[in-house]
Structure 1
Amino acid sequence: MQLNDLAERYVAVWNEPDPEARRKAVADLWTEDALMRLAPPQEMRTHATKLGVTPFLEARGHDELELRVVRSYEEFVAPGQNVFAVRQGARRLGDVVIFEWAMAAKVTAEQLGAGLEVVIVGRDGRIKEDLQFIDP
């Protein structure tokens, strides 16, 4: 598996405008039963703390993962102002791969968001588990 290729394909799916190409990219990147977990926004964490619970968000399987990608695309990329890119090359330890990404304004290249991706890959090179840490 080419690590930087995995990171580039991962980030590319979030920028993909074509629904069919995006659906195929989701199937190529994640296993059928893959799980993505991400920390919720601060407001949700604060409310959950008041309730005495620890919140997290998750998407499981191709349908939910595709919906997660579509919603992100619609909010951040489709309006034409932003783009996602790999920020730092991928590193691997066993079946764990990590890489950083950023969202930047297309015109000014100003970084508007970033995160760390920690993925566990299967023997076929597809992602089985995806932990997404979005920088506050």
Structure 2
Amino acid sequence: MSDFTEQATAYIDMWNETDPAARRDRVEQVFAAGSRYVDPLGVAVGHDQIDSMVGAVQQQFPGLRFALAGPIDTHHEQARFAWRLGVPGEDSLIDGFDVAELDGSGRVALVLGFLDKVPTA
């Protein structure tokens, strides 16, 4: 389903956008108003909180990039896709997968994130 492929790519691009104004624009393009993002480390509801969460992750992992890590599996209004975070061309620091649900307009209404590989202290 091309809508999910486009949205998953736009979603990853949003996580990689370091210019605050451009990132905020991407958040509003990708996510529906009132959308939710939930992962083991936090919950964000709405554009402001999602934008803040993305900015905080970028500050915690400066210079690292997100990338899709395989095909996007879809059914109905849902998709799941794996991703990795790291230096391009090197082993990833963090691996995970997200389950996303689109609303009727084709924007993300909900993301449930899972972490498969995380660094140890």
Q: Give me the TM-score of the superposition, normalised by structure 1.
A: 0.79
Q: 1:97 aligns with which of 75, 79, 88?
A: 79
Contact 1:7-1:89 within 8 A present in 2 as well: no
Residue number in structure 2 paired with 1:60: 45
Could you say which residue in structure 2 is the equivalent of 1:109? 90
Q: 3-state DSSP class of the match of 2:94? A: strand
Shift of 1:125: 0.8
Q: Quick one: distance in 1 between partners of 2:93 and 2:110?
A: 26
Q: Which runs of 5+ in 1 are unaligned?
A: 41-56
Kept in 1, the 8 Å contact 2:30–2:107? The answer is: yes
Which residue in the other structure is 1:6 paired with?
Answer: 7
Q: Distance in 1 between matches of 2:107 and 2:68?
A: 18
> Hey, what does 1:54 align to over in structure 2?
none
CA-to-aligned-CA distance 1:15-42 (integer Å, 9 cap, x gap): 11111110010001111100111123xx
How far off its partner does 1:89 sit?
2.1
Q: Distance in 2 between matches of 1:3 and 1:121?
A: 8
Where does structure 2 lack aligned partners over 5 or more consecutive residues?
A: none
Give me the CA root mean square deviation. 1.4
Q: Is the 8 A contact 1:117 1:131 kept in 2?
A: yes
Structure 2 Cα separation of the partners of residues 94 and 129 of structure 1: 14
Q: CA deviation at 1:7?
A: 1.3
Aligned equivalents of 1:63, 1:69: Cα separation in 2: 10
User: In structure 2, which of residues 38, 44, 55 is the aligned counterpart of residue 70 of structure 1?
Assistant: 55
Percent of residue pairs bearing the same amino acid type:
27
Asked if 2 retains the 8 angstrom alpha-carbon contact of 1:26 and 1:65, the reply is yes
The aligned length equals 116
Q: Which amino acid aligns with 1:87?
A: A
Counterpart residue identity of residue 5, structure 1:
E
